[in-house]
Amino acid sequence: MRPRALTCGAAPVEVSREIMELPTRFTPADFEKQIYSDWVASGGFQPKSPVHGEKTYTIMIPPPNVTGVLHMGHALNGAIQDIVIRHRRMCGFSALWLPGTDHAGIATQAVVERKLFEEEKKTRKDIGRDAFVKRIWEWCDKHGDYILEQYRRLGSSCDWSRKRFTFEPHMSRAVRESFVRLFEKGYVYRGARLVNWDCVLETAVSDDEIENVPRKDKLYYIRYPVKGAAAARLGAAGENGEYVTVATTRPETMLGDTGVAVNGDDERYKGLIGKTLVLPLVEREIPIIADESVSTEFGTGAVKVTPGHDPADYERGARHNLPIINILEKNGRINQNGGEFVGMPREKAREAIVKKLDELGLLAKVEDIQHNVPISDRSKSVIEPMVSEQWFVKMKPLAAPAIRAVKSGALKFRPERWTKVYLDWLENVHDWCISRQLWWGHQIPVWYDEDGVPVASRTDLAIGSPHPLTKKPIVRQDEDVLDTWASSWLWPFATLGWPDITDDLGRFYQTQFLSTAREIIYLWVARMVMAGYEFLDHLPEDQRCPFEVCNVHATVLDAKGRRMSKSAGNGIDPIEMIDKFGADAVRYSLILLTKEGQDVKLSPERFDQGFRFSNKVWNAARFVLLNLEGPRTDGSSKSAARLEDRWILSRLDATRREVSNALDTYQLNIAATTLYRFVWNDFCDWYLEIVKPRLLSKTDDSAPAARGTLVRVLTDTLAMLHPFTPFLTEILWKALHETLGQSGVGQRGIGQRPMLMNSTWPTGEDIAHDERAEAEMQTIQDLVAAVRRVRNLTMVGERQRLVALIAAPREVDRAVLKEHSATVRGLAFLESYEVDTRFDRPKGTAVAVAGAIEVFVHLGDDVDFVKLGDVLKKRAEKVRQGITGADAKLSNQGFLDRADPDVVEEERGRRADMVLELEMLERNVAGL
RNA sequence: GGGCGAUUAACUCAGCGGCUAGAGUGCCUCCCCUACACGGAGGAAGUCGGGGGUUCGAAUCCCUCAUCGCCCACCA
């Protein structure tokens, strides 16, 4: 065949090379960059211009941290979102996938602070707040888009013109508006509470930002002398009023003890309740109180109460009016309340205190214990509960509509089970500590007058200006910043312009699909729902939910089933995989392997499947491109010339229905699997092979239909594959478009638009479901497989054309085999064959059974039939079992009475087939 | 202590009331036939974690146990 020129689209792409030179191996790296910029240039990532009655479809990206680096979880989620948005775009929606990043207060500050120290040996305090914040901005300007670059490598079709950042000026305005509203409603309050304190980052963190990590630790038993008891007798056995032993894992907190609690029902301590103890080392007198929260089982039954540094003790202290003593500096060192231990880091203080107590004979014993230690997500340091002044948001009133959202069905989780997790959290929600003692973040828009009366304001209040309420001069703004989630919870609408009621907000809110990791259902998802209902009060309640579907994607694990993490060093770098296998392969593999929210174990080799599939599509398309010369039909079912044309179109139709339905319902792996099977098993393994002789023949008048069908199937397949493997399909689409353009024959879907991305989703127009064609093809496939089996088992290769006798008791089978003799002969490499109702097996023939068809193949006498006989026997056994099973059912009166009549009928039919097959098998096993 | 997942071929998983339980990888045999050897053809390989129950019928629904994993929870 004469090579033809191939160019790719309007843009000068480097792939304009001779078609025959298209490499047989798909090399994604050659195309991805160019294709991506073509997409951007086409404007296709932006939603279509608004028209009346348009359908919009919106996805907001879960904004990754500006400091972030793309990991497999991002890649998976990016693939999911891109597949969904590309599909909806092709279906005609005005589709928007809005990208952006999160300023991620603590994480970002920590990164820049570390860098500052490494490079200049300075701390943030050394250079001051303004200079430090400036440094962070510089860092963001330089590195902030790195992760979004990585999303581009994946092929993400985000509308970059609408890119947002949670700390940009517009977002600040939205954050301030939301805070002031909550303040004015009385939902925001300030107070001294016990909060989770991160001693490394020196800030409060919320409950949701800590992780309880099981650790081996020591449980220390410490004796607290009863006031008045003789010190000399402390070492003696027995506790008769001499001392009370308490157990603790954190002995250093004793410096802040203001009581000891026992259970009122505990006989051991009944007489001691109300008495006074002398706290060792600090010599403070503290009471023994009765509190029902104390277990008589654990430890000694007596609990030291440290209201300043333990949440449970805080409650107990509150119930009994015990004073609160803070013993820690913000950096975790012991403060002036710690007597001789002042200035020591808490870990050192623990050792010193234990040593001292031991010397004093007050350390009764030490036990090993396994318990949970709260660790800060960000700094990985041990959290110290500490009392401090913080801002809180009342969550109960915000939670109510968010609970209603799922109960009314306005919000649906996928998989559904996460609904419960979401509800459990909302129903037991605690107030949200939103102030952070950081410098990087939205500063709390609260100002104080000289008396410390706070006021929240939408506009900055100058120092010295009058307080709006007290009229006294403003003296300072609150120094703290807001938790980063206090901006990201506004993401679905602040990104569209809120608090202004913009056109975008009207068009794209509510969004349809949110896909995210399970870890942030509380941190982010639930809060966005609350924010949507709370702040979008210009909308009726049923239009406020920020998204219709919340997809909770799989967690990506390593090959051993461990979570991928930076610290464990077991992560697989998605970019590395893209470099190696191509973005299409990475996406496709990920989706193929991931069933909804089921965790997925990953190793680099597993991306090979996606690559091999890309390569298969590439080569199948090459085949079509190589065979376009000559007249061609439109590829509709009506123009189909042969059984295989009607069959592949029918399969295409079934595939289209299944894939469309799966994508509509977010079952991406079903869609991917369906396409995989269709492309590989139906199209490549059968159709291409059958159609080859027609294309090569100069005289075959069915060649135009073959070409037409090939193009039609390829066209629709590329379209359906496009959301999954966008680069591959786009480059092939261009190649096809170019080639067809030259040949001058119009084709549905071709020539409309240059970009597949902007093309339309197949509708199945002109393509008929054809059950009969499918059944007939099945017969042919079974027969061909049977002949192939004979060859393989008797070691007779395809080069040797064979002569066969085919016995088919059924009229339909005989008709098909007679009519499609050329196809069967081609596929099975048969010289010729005869078809009849029944043959007696001639000498020197091997036999195969395909359902209710017998094939006798002339092989000669020197062929070894042993393996063939073994396979037949085995098969016979299997069919025999099948018949036994069917008999059991059919002889069961209950089955006949109660099962669906169709099922019974089906079972009868199946049994009849099996009986026929078994008869043949047995006859031939005996004959061999 | 609660809740949720998982347990199916050597490996990774799909199937979730009714076909003789499937796929990919790996394994064995044969084949470079002009899309693809990162390919093609064929084969071997599973008492569906154990035990009960419901049902005409269970890998699939219910109970229970076991193992692994995740989440939530103030036991010092």
Of A356-365, A433-442, A515-524, A709-718, the range with the lowest mean pLDDT is A356-365
Q: Which amino acid is at A202?
A: E
State whether the beta carbon of A629 lies below 7 angstroms from any atom of strand B.
Answer: no
Mapping DSSP to helix (H, G, I), strand (E, B) and coil, where does residue A862 land? coil
According to the model, what pLDDT value does residue A234 have? Answer: 43
Mapping DSSP to helix (H, G, I), strand (E, B) and coil, where does residue A60 land? strand
- Tell me the average pLDDT across A411-434: 91
Q: Residue A593: is it exposed, middle or buried by C-beta count within 10 angstroms (0-12/13-18/19+)?
A: buried
Query: How far apart are the C-alpha atoms of A592 and A575, rounded to whole Å?
Result: 19
- Tell me the average pLDDT across A622-645: 90
Q: Identify the residue with better confidence: A885 or A866.
A: A885
Q: Quick check: A587 pLDDT over 60?
A: yes
Q: Quick check: A744 pLDDT over 50?
A: no
According to the model, what pLDDT value does residue A820 have? Answer: 93
Nucleotide nearest to A22 (CA to C1'): B35
Task: Quickly give A47 CA vs B4 C1' distance in Å.
Answer: 39
Q: Quick check: A750 pLDDT over 60?
A: no
- pLDDT per residue as tens digits for the range A664-683: 999 999 999 999 999 999 99
Task: Quickly give A552 CA vs B5 C1' distance in Å.
Answer: 14
- Tell me the average pLDDT across A149-165: 95
Nucleotide nearest to A300 (CA to C1'): B76
Running DSSP on this structure, what letter comes out for residue A243? E
- pLDDT per residue as tens digits for the range A4-58: 223 222 222 333 344 446 678 888 777 899 999 999 988 889 998 888 889 999 9
Nearest residue to nucleotide B38, by CA–C1' distance, is A612
Query: How far apart are the C-alpha atoms of A409 and A403, rounded to whole Å?
Result: 10
Query: How far apart are the C-alpha atoms of A820 and A767, rounded to whole Å?
Result: 22
Q: What is the DSSP string of A317-332?
A: HHHTT------B-TTS
Task: Quickly give A563 CA vs B23 C1' distance in Å.
Answer: 26
Q: Quick check: A346 pLDDT over 90?
A: no
According to the model, what pLDDT value does residue A230 have? Answer: 53
Task: Quickly give A881 CA vs B17 C1' distance in Å.
Answer: 21
Contact A434, A393 (CB under 8 A): yes
According to the model, what pLDDT value does residue A256 have? Answer: 87
Ranked by mean pLDDT, which of A239-248, A566-575, A714-723 comes out on top?
A714-723
> Nearest-5° angle of CA A527, CA A530, CA A535?
120
State whether the beta carbon of A692 lies below 7 angstroms from any atom of strand B.
Answer: yes
Contact A612, A728 (CB under 8 A): no
State whether the beta carbon of A901 lies below 7 angstroms from any atom of strand B.
Answer: no
Mapping DSSP to helix (H, G, I), strand (E, B) and coil, where does residue A96 land? strand
SS3 per residue for A529-593 = HHHHHHHCCCCCHHHCCCEEEEEECCCEECCCCCECCCCCCCCCCHHHHHHHHCHHHHHHHHHHH
Residues 486-515 of A with CB under 7 A from strand B: none
Nearest residue to nucleotide B24, by CA–C1' distance, is A609
Mapping DSSP to helix (H, G, I), strand (E, B) and coil, where does residue A87 land? helix
State whether the beta carbon of A374 lies below 7 angstroms from any atom of strand B.
Answer: no
Query: How far apart are the C-alpha atoms of A205 and A517, rounded to whole Å?
Result: 20
- pLDDT per residue as tens digits for the range A45-56: 999 888 888 999
According to the model, what pLDDT value does residue A11 have? Answer: 29
Residues of chain A with pLDDT > 70, as a percent, come to 95
Q: Quick check: A311 pLDDT over 90?
A: no
Mean pLDDT over each residue of chain A, to the nearest integer: 87
**What pTM was estimated for this model as a whole?**
0.91
> Looking at strand B, which nucleotides approach a protein CB closer than 7 A?
3-6, 12-15, 18-20, 24-25, 29-31, 33-45, 55-57, 68-76
State whether the beta carbon of A249 lies below 7 angstroms from any atom of strand B.
Answer: yes
Cβ atoms within 10 Å, residue A605: 8
Task: Quickly give A520 CA vs B72 C1' distance in Å.
Answer: 14
Q: Quick check: A136 pLDDT over 50?
A: yes
Cα-based distances in Å from A20 to A2, A765, A788: 9, 32, 32
- pLDDT per residue as tens digits for the range A166-179: 999 999 999 999 99
Task: Identify whether A510 is preceded by a cis peptide bond (ω within 30 of 0).
Answer: yes
Within 8 A by CB and 6+ apart from A504, the residues are A162, A496, A497
Q: Identify the residue with better confidence: A298 or A219.
A: A219
State whether the beta carbon of A598 lies below 7 angstroms from any atom of strand B.
Answer: yes
Residues 165-224 of A with CB under 7 A from strand B: 207-208, 211-212
Task: Quickly give A13 CA vs B53 C1' distance in Å.
Answer: 67
- pLDDT per residue as tens digits for the range A454-505: 999 999 999 999 999 999 999 999 999 999 999 999 999 999 999 999 999 9
- Tell me the average pLDDT across A658-665: 94
According to the model, what pLDDT value does residue A400 have? Answer: 94
